[in-house]
Amino acid sequence: MSQSTGQFGATSLKSSPLKSPRISPAFFAWLLVAPALLFILVIVAWPLLETFRLSFTNARLGGESYVGLENYEKLLEKRKFHQTIYRTFYWMFLSVSLKLILGLIGASLLNAAVPGKALFRVLVMPPWVIPIAIGCIGWLWLYNGYFGILSGTAQWLGLIDGPFEFLAHKKSAFYSAVVTDVWVGTPMVTLFFLAAMQGVSRDLYEAAWVDGAGRWYRFRRITIPQIMPVIVSMMLLSAIWTFNSFEVIWILTEGGPRSASTTLIIDTYKTAIGNYKFGEGAARAVIIVILLSIFSLIYLFFLNKVNKIYGSK
Amino acid sequence: MATLDIKNLAKSFGSVDVLHDINLSIADKEFVVFVGPSGCGKSTLLRIIAGLEEVTSGDILIEGQNVNTHAPVERGISMVFQSYALYPHLSVFENIAFPLRVQKLSNSDVKARVGRAASILQLQDKLSLKPGQLSGGQRQRVAIGRSIVRNPKIFLFDEPLSNLDAALRGDMRVELSQLHRELNATMVYVTHDQVEAMTMADRIVVLNAGMVEQFGTPMELYHRPETKFVAGFIGQPNMNFLTAKVTAASAQEVRVDLDGAITLALPLAGDTVQVGDPVDVGIRPEDLRIVEDGGFEMHVDVIERLGGVCIVYGRIGANETRYCASLAGDARVTEGSMIKLASDPANFHAFDRAGRALHRLNVSFETE
């Protein structure tokens, strides 16, 4: 730090904690980050550690005692839990894939030079803007067998004989939940893709056009590579959100019928909050953290590769 | 024979007329530069030739064939963009190969053609790099390489050097001129920089407010500008103008009165002006010299000494009109002083009220 000869400079240097013999610079640095650190400890680290601790207990409403790895052993032995893990990944894969595909199609359409595209861009927003609970209640009506429009239309078209309760059958309940989750999640993906597409220089498309590249070729060879980092980022974010998606399934099916739409997050909630088995619930939560961590690591590896291939250097 | 003819072309964006009644005929293997100030429509005209914009009316003919409705690729043109338009995720090789990949040529053909372009442009050792790892000049070469591999009938350049620094621009000007000689192709080049236009063009199209002011060789434009706009636009520093009144006019000579103080007898064809008509008399800064007696008096405001030449800015006449003189590098002038300037009458230009030039007599220059 340069010495100041001015009155103000001299005074401020004297009062600077860095110059005080009582506080070391390292301690001062810790002092500065302490509020943020405390915040992270209270909001993130402590709940995480507490969950981890609970997972080794049989904590219930009445009390708790240490049980070691018993909760994990029980879980890993349960066939039903294996099915839940498989279902969760299937749910994630299906929902994320659809969100990304529809998002890409939607963004491409919204990016096209069509009259009134500003209006279309606004019209994409509602599923994202409307509170999920309200949206899901709307979908509950749509899926209803007696007054729902889907069942009614299917009957009118002669596809089904009588009312069909979409949420009462194992397969249709699961796929109905996927459709609603896609409806909720697609607008955000679309808008992120649209923003990325608008960042691609128009000159690139014109140069390709002059060189004879058609629409599909330009989309494949320019648009996709240019927005690939955003696609990969959205893939991860969307995967984590979908993996942890709770409201949609809970409002539509509460994980049923007969656990057909129960994902890990629903299972954890049912165990810990529904059945007051905090210890077993915590073990499930820890497994979710481990699975998502592995997934994130794979993603980071993948993102690094993508940046190498599609980056500018 | 890659000729390009533009007939009665007009272009409007909504209610805004951008180009009016453009008529040009560009010969095979010619290097033609469109030059003009920002917003004059030169880039729009180039984009229309490329097929990136549609004409509002008129015709574009390449090799005599009307291509108004043809897609860019069907016109046999290639274009180099101001931003280079390189694909950042592709290597230099793949950037140059892009048009060939679109054509689905075999790998061996692609390799051969890219290799040939790379050797012309001295990019052989850069083929595996990404555009982000190249300098501005190298990127420009890659963009040119991408247009070379297609063997187009006509090359179009949209201000390709404007993103480069002054030194590199100079080098690239020379390289582009050499490239034109090597490829022996028709080239149309857009720039707002008159130095680029003068140094590279076989012929220059000066555009102003969507219209062609003049189409001619660089020397024609310099020595025989047809309008006051061309006279002021071509030449560095810009031509000086003074308002004068015609006192006598004949087919061989026009006499003008400047500020009521000086009378000049100029060797111009005066058949389009009459006695009493106001005219703008123009003289290029480099045609002025310091004299001891006679001439115009100029109050010197600023001196720019560039070594070989000395540019003197000042004011002359009762109206204190801004004037500029390009003198010898060691000219003895000081800021704040008064100097006297004169020139040979044959060096003067004159323009009527509408800005049209009075034909200069006894002017000879090399067109090549």
Whole-number Cα distances in Å, A19 to A2, A3, A8, A34, A250: 13, 12, 16, 20, 58
CB contact under 8 A, B146 and A207: yes
Confirm whether B363 is domain-assigned: no
Q: Do B166 and B150 fall into the same domain?
A: yes
Q: Do A79 and A48 fall into the same domain?
A: no
Contacts of A222 in chain B (CB under 8 A): 87
Contacts of A226 in chain B (CB under 8 A): 88-89
Scored b (16 or more CB within 10 A) or e, B271-290 reads ebbeeebebbbbbbbbbbbb
Q: Do A22 and A98 fall into the same domain?
A: no
Give the tens place of pLDDT for each residue, B53-110: 999 999 999 999 999 999 999 999 999 998 899 999 999 999 999 999 999 999 999 9
A267 burial type by CB count under 10 A (0-12 exposed, 13-18 middle, 19+ buried): buried
pLDDT of residue A187: 92
Tracing tokens 């039903």 back to the chain, one arrives at A80
Confirm whether A61 is domain-assigned: no
Query: Which among B73, B78, B81 has CB closest to A203?
Result: B81
Q: Do B218 and B284 fall into the same domain?
A: no
Q: Do B224 and B340 fall into the same domain?
A: no
Contacts of B72 in chain A (CB under 8 A): 209-210, 212
Query: Which among A207, A221, A309 has CB closest to B85?
Result: A207
Q: What is the pTM of this model?
A: 0.80
A57: DSSP letter: B
Query: Closest-CA residue in chain A for B72?
Result: A210
Q: Are strands B262-266 and B254-258 parallel, antiparallel or unpaired?
A: antiparallel
Q: Do B174 and B242 fall into the same domain?
A: no
Residue A116's CATH number? 1.10.3720.10
Residue B85's CATH number? 3.40.50.300
Contacts of B85 in chain A (CB under 8 A): 201, 203-204, 206-207
- The residue among B209 and A121 whose pLDDT is bigger is B209
Q: Do A135 and A221 fall into the same domain?
A: yes
Q: Do B201 and B346 fall into the same domain?
A: no
Confirm whether B115 is domain-assigned: yes
User: Would you write out chain A's pLDDT as a tens digit for each of its 313 residues?
Assistant: 344 444 444 444 445 555 556 788 999 999 999 999 999 999 999 999 999 999 999 988 888 888 889 999 998 898 999 999 999 999 999 999 999 999 999 999 888 877 777 888 888 888 888 899 999 999 999 999 888 889 899 889 988 888 888 888 999 999 999 999 999 999 999 999 999 999 999 999 999 999 989 999 999 999 999 999 899 889 989 999 999 899 999 999 998 788 899 999 999 999 999 999 999 999 999 999 999 999 889 888 888 888 777 765 5
Q: Work out whether the CA dihedral A47, A48, A49, A51 comes out positive or negative.
A: positive
pLDDT of residue A8: 42
pLDDT of residue A103: 94
Count how many domains chain A has. Answer: 2
Contacts of B87 in chain A (CB under 8 A): 204, 221-222, 225
Confirm whether B366 is domain-assigned: no
Count how many domains chain B has. Answer: 2
Confirm whether A1 is domain-assigned: no
Contacts of A309 in chain B (CB under 8 A): 89
Query: Is the separation of the CB atoms in A256 and A143 below 8 Å?
Result: no
Q: Do B179 and B270 fall into the same domain?
A: no
Q: Work out whether the CA dihedral A183, A184, A185, A188 comes out positive or negative.
A: positive
Q: What does pLDDT average to over chain B?
A: 90
Return the minimum-mean-pLDDT range out of A303-312, B216-225, B252-261, B282-291: A303-312
Tokens of B119: 């050797």
Provide the residue range defining the domain that includes A44: 7-54
pLDDT of residue B272: 86
Contacts of B131 in chain A (CB under 8 A): 312
Is A120 an 8 Å CB contact of chain B? Answer: no
Is A115 an 8 Å CB contact of chain B? Answer: no
Quick count: other Cβ atoms within 10 Å of Cβ B33? 25
Q: Do B208 and B269 fall into the same domain?
A: no
Query: Which among A217, A226, A313 has CB closest to B132?
Result: A313
Q: Do A279 and A130 fall into the same domain?
A: yes
Query: Which among B51, B87, B131 has CB closest to A222?
Result: B87
Residue B345's CATH number? 2.40.50.140
CB contact under 8 A, B52 and A225: no
Query: Closest-CA residue in chain B for A228?
Result: B89
Q: Do B284 and B140 fall into the same domain?
A: no
Q: Do A42 and A95 fall into the same domain?
A: no
Residue B301's φ and ψ, nearest 5 degrees, are: -100, -50
Give the tens place of pLDDT for each residue, B276-319: 899 999 999 999 999 988 888 899 999 999 999 999 999 988 77
Query: Is the separation of the CB atoms in B362 and B277 below 8 Å?
Result: no
A42: DSSP letter: I
Q: Are strands B31-35 and B57-62 parallel, antiparallel or unpaired?
A: unpaired
Q: Do A159 and A77 fall into the same domain?
A: yes
Q: Do B59 and B193 fall into the same domain?
A: yes
Query: Is the separation of the CB atoms in A184 and B62 below 8 Å?
Result: no
User: Which chain B residues touch A if contact means CB-CB below 8 Å?
Assistant: 50-52, 71-73, 77-79, 81-83, 85, 87-90, 98-99, 101-103, 130-133, 146, 150
Q: Do B11 and B94 fall into the same domain?
A: yes
Query: Closest-CA residue in chain B for A307?
Result: B89
Q: What number is the ipTM of this complex?
A: 0.84
Closest alpha carbon to B67 in B160, B144, B156, B189? B156
Q: Do B256 and B334 fall into the same domain?
A: yes
The number of residues making up chain A comes to 313
Q: Which of A200, A203, A210, A222 to mutate to test the interface with B (most CBs of B within 10 A)?
A: A210
Provide the residue range defining the domain that includes B288: 237-351
CA B78 to chain A, closest CA, distance in angstroms equals 7
